[in-house]
Amino acid sequence: MIHQATVQIRTAGRGTYSIDLAVRGVLAKSGLVRGVVHLFVQHTSCSLIITENADPDVRHDLETLAADWAPDGDPRYRHDLEGPDDMAAHARSVITHSSFSIPFSEGQMLLGTWQGLYLWEHRRTGHLRSLVITVMGDHQ
């Protein structure tokens, strides 16, 4: 059985935004008990990650490294129509994730204790982001 919903996430610019509650809400509504929840962002300048949920410094340090992986305003970029963070955002999206799935059982996601789900906004300005959540599973 398939249950599908789209959730809007408003970001306030570059940074990570917890989406655990949004995903849990759709999973609960599905009424399914065992399977996987699939997440998909409909954008190429933000992405999805699973990372440590206890110490916000982890997500701060990820931003530090992301500036090594894909710096803003690299003079080699040809694509800079929307500013110095435009191409950096596309590249950060490509090396992280537009899509992944989490298993669930007894209606609960099987996340480890320290795993949090985040939408990572890579643009400097705020955006409204669409997250498609598809629950696939059995009723018992």
By CB under 8 A, name the binding residues for a copy of itself. 1-2, 4, 6, 34-36, 38, 40-45, 49-52, 55, 57-58, 60-62, 64-65, 69-70, 74, 76-79, 81, 87, 90-91, 93-103, 105, 110-112, 114-115, 130, 132, 134, 136-138
CB of 76 to a copy of itself, least distance (A): 5
CB of 110 to a copy of itself, least distance (A): 5
Residues 6 or more apart whose Cβ sits within 8 Å of residue 2 = 134, 135, 136
CB of 79 to a copy of itself, least distance (A): 4
Instruction: Pick the closer one to a copy of itself by CB: 97 or 124.
Output: 97
Torsions phi, psi for 33 (to 5 deg):
-110, -25
CB of 74 to a copy of itself, least distance (A): 8
Instruction: Pick the closer one to a copy of itself by CB: 9 or 58.
Output: 58
Q: Confirm if 39 and 131 have CB atoms less than 8 A apart.
A: yes
Instruction: Pick the closer one to a copy of itself by CB: 21 or 81.
Output: 81
Cα–Cα separations (whole angstroms), residue 61 to 48, 51, 93, 108: 16, 12, 17, 30
DSSP label at residue 84: T
Residues 6 or more apart whose Cβ sits within 8 Å of residue 82 = 123
Q: Confirm if 37 and 104 have CB atoms less than 8 A apart.
A: yes
